[in-house]
Amino acid sequence: MLILLILSIHSAYIHTYTYLGEKQYSTILKNQQNGVSTDQAILNSSLENLTIADKYGLWHQGSLQRELAALNMLLNNLPDAEKYLRRMLDKIPDDLEGQLKLGKMLILQKQNEEAEVHLKLAIAAEAITPREKHLKAEAELSLGHLKEQNNFPSEALPLYQAAFKDDSENPEIKLALGVFYTRTGKLSEAEPLLKDALVYYPNSAMIENNLAITYMGLKRLPEAQSHFEKANQLQPGNLQVMYNLAMLKYTNGQKEEARAALEQILISHPDHKNARLALQMMDEKK
């Protein structure tokens, strides 16, 4: 009888902390959805309550660990977030969002081989709802970036294409695929994707630069110059943009302006080989 009483008290104790922690966590989620920041005290209190519930409770489904992982991420406690994610995935290995979060966390820690394993598990998980398809696309995008970083571009392309198929309105996916197409010479395919991405990221010098390179390859030189100049305005001193703009001006017959731009690059970066070679080429053609 005494044992039952103790167990009953223990259960009530744990349920109290679980209830309080999850009520606070629900408020945090609503704030995130509405774009409202949550007071630090509420974050800390929810974390404290759910940590006690996890420590002393018998929780077998993994949802508590998912919430603890999310709270620790919000508080930038990445080691604890990783710990809870791993515990949750031990119980629910096919959790798409958990595998994705752990994969991205491992990328930040330069643990690329293990990150790839978890991203592949996320991609393999069943995705039925729009949110699940969005998360799957995010995993495909992240793995595509990882493949590019590791110099496997042929493996990156199908991942970007699959991500676009799963979430065709995602601007980050449009950007990644557009930049990839620009780099690989598929310029007609790159243009609409980069233009769409620019609507979402209107102050991106990187997108402006890639659009300019695309138009340059398509022989649409006035548009190329306009986008190079915009990129230069957005990010003054970007050597790649400055060099690209100088070479375009040379192609357009603006030779003195091109020379001045290249000389400006060499004043600040005398070891810029391409600028020096371009000036030598101009001298030889005089």
* Mean pLDDT, the chain, whole residue set: 85
Q: What is the mean pLDDT of residues 151-173?
A: 96
Give the pLDDT of residue 12.
Answer: 46
What's the confidence (pLDDT) of residue 221? 92
Measured CA to CA, the distance from residue 217 to residue 189 in angstroms comes to: 12
Judged against a pLDDT cut of 60, whether residue 74 lies above it is answered with yes
Cβ-count burial of 219 within 10 angstroms (0-12 exposed, 13-18 middle, 19+ buried)?
exposed
This prediction's pTM: 0.79
Is pLDDT above 90 for 3? no
**Helix boundaries (H) for the chain:** 2-33, 40-56, 63-74, 78-91, 96-108, 112-124, 130-149, 153-166, 171-183, 187-200, 205-217, 221-234, 239-251, 255-268, 273-284
Residues 232-245 pLDDT 10s = 999 998 899 999 98
Please name the residue that has the structure tokens 């929780």.
59
How far is the C-alpha of 108 from the C-alpha of 82, rounded, in Å?
Answer: 12
Q: 26 falls in which pLDDT band (50, 70, 90)?
A: low
Domains (range + CATH), the chain: 47-55+62-124 (1.25.40.10)
